[in-house]
């Protein structure tokens, strides 16, 4: 063989080289191929501003595993990559960058600002995609897309216009989530509810016309009092029924507000009286609509109090809160302040506390599309792994509200709505502003200033990337996609929106399965974050240990939907496994050197160990394929890992050494054919998880083959099922394991050999050992192996070990120098006696027992127990030696 494996495994030396080879040969590119079944995955598009983190590494490793698996199974496998324009994140970064240069975005204007955004995208947009290559991602980079490229932008405009024409997109004043820092509206899914320590301020509202009488309310946001337009009580609440219809004097104002009855009020919560602020609370907004209440907005966009707030106007919301509470106390209207921990809505991007506010915004009507997404799930057109996330999906759709899609940003898809400057008519259309107003005939139009929520374009990703709204061959062939891989934290943001958008625009669900994974946490179980400084850079791991080691670490023990912890020790263990595979492969290749090893195994010349290992790898192929089909990737890789490390390296290669060292040339060729066949199959099964090392070894082992990437996936072969031989070798393994345990317990030097007696009345068992005598003796370090039906000729001092159906005996004197062992044990007995005396002395000492910490006493008691146990073993061994 011309090519050799390097003496030591060095991922740095081979990973970049192999990735370039794959790129040069176009192995990742998928084409419309009527002769093959398609399999497609769409990559969750990382932010164009993004940097690879552990979540990306896990998510993309799982996708790559599936795509490589299906590619080897013979599918035309497309992994569609791309990036998201990430409106808020990008706008914030570009705005901050301009600030550092002394440039104010509002001074330079929208068009100039957008030029900077595109420059930023060009400079940083490809960074994360290059980093994904370091991970080994085999995405079809020739098809890479961007949510604001020409095709995706066309799709966004088309969907907006279609939904508007259907009456499912509308503009209206409703309560929305407002971020005072980013100064934009947010959807419910972008609001993160965080537990914060706060207070309940109990405030008395005077009853008009009844001096000295009050209604007590409790609020966590006293500053919103200025926007109150009613106080509500439950109509069934006996305590307050007499108040319904009465007027209250709103503290700190000259206004009066009514007491109303509404079932929304929980009688058991707080005081049972609830202040209603329709412009600043979503529930109050609904109550206000039912009762025709006025909606009074008291906040500016930057969360300062507006000019309707009298003396508090211009104050920050929290500054106003403090001042108002002081004034209420002076008026004698502050009853009490009670500490209270409650969930506060914050913007998931900048973590600023969100303000519910009434603003005119664009909304998507969700009733019909939400129901369609629910129906598709109930019909079984969509499934979740694990299944319990289907309940989350149902719950969210059952409670879905109209989606606020307008954002007060410049970077993003601008809303294709045009306002006639002559009559105010709104025209929504494709291809830019109209020439003539359909209402007044005017010719002056201004486009809506707002852009669309980033998730509006992301929701179209599975089909917009394939050319929709045009009927492209790719769309016809690869859509719907097969599986979406994503974290549980964005099921609402993205998954549900893709489902209802896909059904509405194409008539089909965009993917058949949703594989949900957990988060990668630090070794203490904490979420990785910049604030904690506990993030692990995947590129640092790759640089130190290689991409294969990182990928294996991320998948070992991984279960769908479950979080996992990251330990550097586990990465080292993964690297050690790679070394094990490398060294075992080098051993096989060195023995193949200069030999014309057959490409297939000869079934007529197989030994029992050959049949055993073929049976094992055969069953492994069936099991791993089944696990992969069920998306049990962690279970699949663990089976491959265990097979390679234990069955193949620790057992079969060792069983093969007697033949490789002293067999005939014909026997060696037969053995090497099996070794190459099993290693090749094992490498194929490992390839999706560890693509680089498997490519290097496989192509060295099979120089006629170009790559492992397109090699055929192993399948179960009826001719490789050898249950009887497999059972026989398992019995031999049990015997060897027991012998090794005996030798270890007696501290027998590794090179020391001894006679081994196998005693069994079962002729079948003796025959199994007879057929396996050469490799059994080699593994058991046996001088000679004697097979017999009774104990005749075996001395009483022989050490025994029991296996199913037989007993193994080894003469003690052949394992150990009896005099030396007796002297060693005597010395150990004396040492243990001293330790036991010392421990007893301490535990009988009243001063120690009364003053020592409980943990110290327990530690000493545990030591005494351990010494006594060790003493019993030593004395038993001395008795066996006749001491």
415-468 confidence digits (pLDDT tens): 999 999 999 999 999 999 999 999 999 999 999 999 999 999 999 999 999 999
Say yes or no to pLDDT of 634 above 90: yes
Residue in 673, 679, 677, 715 with CA at minimum distance from that of residue 697: 679
Q: Could you tell me which of 717, 642, 638 has the C-alpha nearest to residue 677? A: 717
Q: Which residue has the higher pLDDT, 482 or 53?
A: 482
Per-residue confidence (pLDDT) for residue 491, from 0 to 100 = 67
- The mean pLDDT value of the chain amounts to 92
Percent of the chain exceeding pLDDT 90 equals: 73
pLDDT confidence band for 631 (50 / 70 / 90): very high
The Cα–Cα gap between 776 and 784 comes to 10
pLDDT (0 to 100) of residue 810: 87
CA distances (Å), origin 377, targets 189, 443, 508, 560: 21, 48, 12, 19
Q: Spell out the residues 6+ positions from residue 305 whose beta carbon is closer than 8 angstroms to its own.
A: 223, 226, 298, 299, 312, 313, 314, 315, 316, 317, 320
The pTM is what?
0.85
Question: Quick one: 726-816 is in which CATH superfamily?
Answer: Class I aminoacyl-tRNA synthetases (RS) (3.30.2320.20)
Lowest mean pLDDT among 288-297, 324-333, 631-640, 776-785: 776-785
- pLDDT tens digits, one per residue of 458-497: 999 999 999 999 999 999 999 999 999 998 877 667 899 9
Q: Would the annotation count 101 as a binding residue?
A: no
> Per residue in 203-217, pLDDT tens?
999 999 999 999 999
Q: What is the average pLDDT across 531-550?
A: 90
Domain 819-880 has CATH 1.10.287: yes
Domain segments of the chain as ranges: 192-348, 566-721, 726-816, 819-880
For the cut 90, the answer to whether the pLDDT of residue 246 exceeds it is yes
d(CA 354, CA 194): 11
Residue 356, SS3 per DSSP: strand
Q: What is the pLDDT of residue 882?
A: 67
Q: With 90 as the cut, is the pLDDT of residue 395 above it? A: yes
pLDDT, average across residues 372-379: 97
Mean pLDDT, range 523-541, rounded to an integer: 84
Structural contact between residues 509 and 492, judged by C-beta atoms closer than 8 angstroms: no
Q: Residue 474 corresponds to which tokens in the numbers above?
A: 């790719």
Token pair of 746, please? 């007696």
Round to whole Å and give the CA distance between 285 and 293: 9
Distance CA 644, CA 632 (A): 19
State the Cα–Cα distance between residues 277 and 231, nearest whole angstrom: 9
Provide the token pair at 285: 């907004």
Q: Which two tokens stand for residue 70?
A: 């299906």
pLDDT over 90 (residue 815): no
Among 88-97, 335-344, 666-675, 749-758, which range has the highest average pLDDT? 666-675
pLDDT of residue 1: 42
- Among 3.90.1660.10, 3.60.40.10, 3.40.50.300, 1.10.730.10, name the CATH number for the domain at 566-721: 1.10.730.10
Single out the residue of 490, 720, 749, 758 nearest to residue 612, CA to CA: 720
The answer on pLDDT for 47 being more than 80 is yes
pLDDT grade, residue 817 (50/70/90)? Answer: confident
For residue 16, pLDDT over 90 is answered with yes
pLDDT, tens digit (0-9, with 9 covering 90-100), for 709-764: 999 999 999 999 999 999 999 999 999 999 898 888 878 888 889 899 999 999 99
Fold category of 192-348 in CATH: Isoleucyl-tRNA Synthetase; domain 2 (3.90.740)
User: What is the reported pLDDT for 158?
Assistant: 98
> 2: pLDDT confidence band, cut at 50, 70 and 90?
very low
Which of 31-45, 540-554, 575-589, 807-821 bottoms out in mean pLDDT, i.e. has the lowest? 807-821
Q: Is 793 exposed, middle or buried (0-12, 13-18, 19+ CB in 10 A)?
A: exposed
């Amino acid at each position: 063989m011309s090519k050799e494996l390097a003496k030591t495994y060095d991922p740095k030396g081979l990973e970049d080289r192999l990735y370039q080879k794959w790129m040069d040969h176009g192995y990742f590119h998928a084409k419309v191929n009527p002769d093959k079944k398609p399999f497609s995955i769409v990559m969750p598009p990382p932010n164009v501003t993004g940097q690879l983190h552990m979540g990306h590494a896990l998510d993309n490793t799982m996708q790559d595993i599936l795509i490589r698996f299906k590619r080897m199974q013979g599918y035309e496998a497309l992994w569609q990559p791309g990036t998201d324009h990430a409106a808020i994140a990008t706008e914030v970064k570009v705005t901050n960058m301009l600030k550092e240069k002394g440039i104010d975005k509002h001074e330079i204007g929208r068009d100039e600002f957008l030029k900077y955004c595109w420059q930023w995208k060009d400079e940083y947009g490809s960074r994360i995609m290059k980093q994904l290559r370091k991970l080994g991602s085999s995405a079809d980079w020739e098809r890479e897309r961007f949510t604001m490229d020409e095709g995706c932008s066309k799709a966004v405009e088309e969907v907006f216009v279609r939904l508007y024409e259907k009456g499912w997109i509308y503009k209206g004043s409703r309560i929305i989530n407002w971020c005072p820092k980013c100064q934009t509206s947010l959807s419910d899914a972008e609001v993160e509810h965080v537990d914060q320590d706060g207070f309940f301020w109990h405030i008395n509202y005077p009853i008009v016309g009844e001096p000295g009488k009050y209604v007590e309310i409790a609020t966590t946001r006293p500053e919103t009092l200025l926007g109150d337009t009613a106080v509500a009580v439950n109509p069934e609440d006996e305590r307050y029924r007499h108040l319904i219809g009465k007027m209250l004097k709103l503290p700190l104002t000259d206004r009066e507000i009514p007491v109303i009855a509404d079932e929304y009020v929980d009688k058991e919560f707080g005081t049972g009286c609830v202040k209603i602020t329709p412009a600043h609370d979503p529930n109050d907004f609904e109550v206000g609509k039912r009762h025709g209440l006025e909606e009074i907005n008291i906040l500016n966009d930057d969360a300062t109090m507006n000019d309707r707030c009298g003396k508090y106007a211009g104050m920050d919301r929290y500054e106003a809160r403090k001042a108002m509470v002081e004034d209420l106390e002076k008026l004698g209207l502050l009853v009490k302040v009670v500490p209270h921990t409650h969930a506060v809505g914050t913007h998931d991007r900048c973590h600023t506390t969100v303000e519910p506010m009434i603003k005119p915004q664009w909304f998507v009507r969700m009733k019909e599309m939400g129901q369609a997404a629910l129906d598709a799930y109930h019909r079984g057109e969509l499934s979740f792994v694990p299944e319990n996330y289907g309940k989350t999906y149902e719950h969210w759709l059952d409670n879905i509200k109209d989606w606020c899609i307008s954002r007060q940003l410049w970077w993003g898809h601008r809303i294709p709505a045009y306002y006639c400057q002559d009559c105010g008519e709104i025209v929504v259309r494709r291809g830019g502003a109209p020439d003539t107003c359909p209402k007044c005939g005017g010719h002056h139009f201004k486009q809506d200033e707002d852009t669309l929520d980033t998730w509006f374009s992301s929701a179209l990703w599975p089909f917009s990337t394939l050319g929709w709204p045009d009927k492209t061959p790719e769309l016809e062939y690869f859509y719907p996609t097969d599986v979406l891989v994503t974290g549980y934290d964005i099921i609402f943001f993205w998954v549900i929106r893709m489902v209802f958008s896909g059904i509405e625009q194409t008539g089909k669900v965009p993917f058949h399965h949703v594989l949900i994974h957990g988060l990668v946490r630090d070794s203490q179980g904490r979420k990785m974050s910049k604030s904690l400084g506990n993030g692990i850079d995947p590129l640092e791991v790759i640089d130190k240990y290689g991409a294969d080691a990182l990928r294996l670490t991320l998948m070992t023990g991984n279960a769908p939907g479950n979080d996992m912890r990251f330990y550097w020790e586990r990465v080292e263990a993964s690297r050690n496994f790679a070394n094990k595979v490398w060294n075992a492969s080098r051993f096989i290749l060195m023995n193949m050197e200069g030999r014309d090893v057959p490409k297939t195994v000869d079934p007529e010349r197989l030994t029992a160990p050959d049949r055993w290992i073929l049976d094992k790898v055969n069953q492994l192929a069936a099991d791993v394929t089944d696990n992969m089909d069920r998306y049990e990737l962690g279970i699949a890789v663990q089976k491959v890992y265990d097979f390679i490390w234990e069955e193949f390296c620790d057992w079969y290669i060792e069983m093969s050494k007697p033949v490789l060292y002293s067999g005939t040339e014909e026997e060696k060729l037969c053995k090497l054919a099996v070794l190459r066949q099993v290693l090749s199959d094992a490498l194929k099964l490992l390839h999706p998880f560890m693509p680089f090392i498997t490519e290097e070894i496989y192509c060295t082992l099979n120089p006629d083959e170009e790559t492992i990437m397109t090699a055929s996936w192993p399948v179960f072969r009826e001719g490789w099922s050898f249950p009887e031989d497999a059972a026989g070798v398992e019995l031999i393994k049990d015997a060897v394991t027991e012998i090794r345990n005996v030798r270890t317990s007696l501290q027998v030097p590794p090179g020391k050999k001894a006679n081994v007696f196998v005693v069994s009345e079962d002729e079948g068992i003796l025959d199994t050992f007879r057929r396996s005598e050469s490799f059994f003796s080699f593994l058991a370090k046996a001088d000679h192996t004697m097979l017999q039906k009774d104990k005749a000729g075996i001395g009483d001092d022989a050490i025994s070990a029991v296996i199913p159906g037989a007993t193994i005996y080894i003469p003690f004197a052949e394992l150990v120098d009896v005099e030396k062992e007796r002297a060693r044990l005597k010395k150990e007995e004396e040492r243990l006696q001293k330790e036991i005396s010392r421990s007893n002395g301490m535990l009988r000492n009243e001063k120690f027992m009364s003053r020592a910490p409980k943990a110290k006493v327990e530690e000493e008691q545990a030591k005494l127990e351990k010494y006594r146990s060790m003493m019993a073993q030593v004395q038993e061994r001395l008795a066996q030696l006749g001491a």
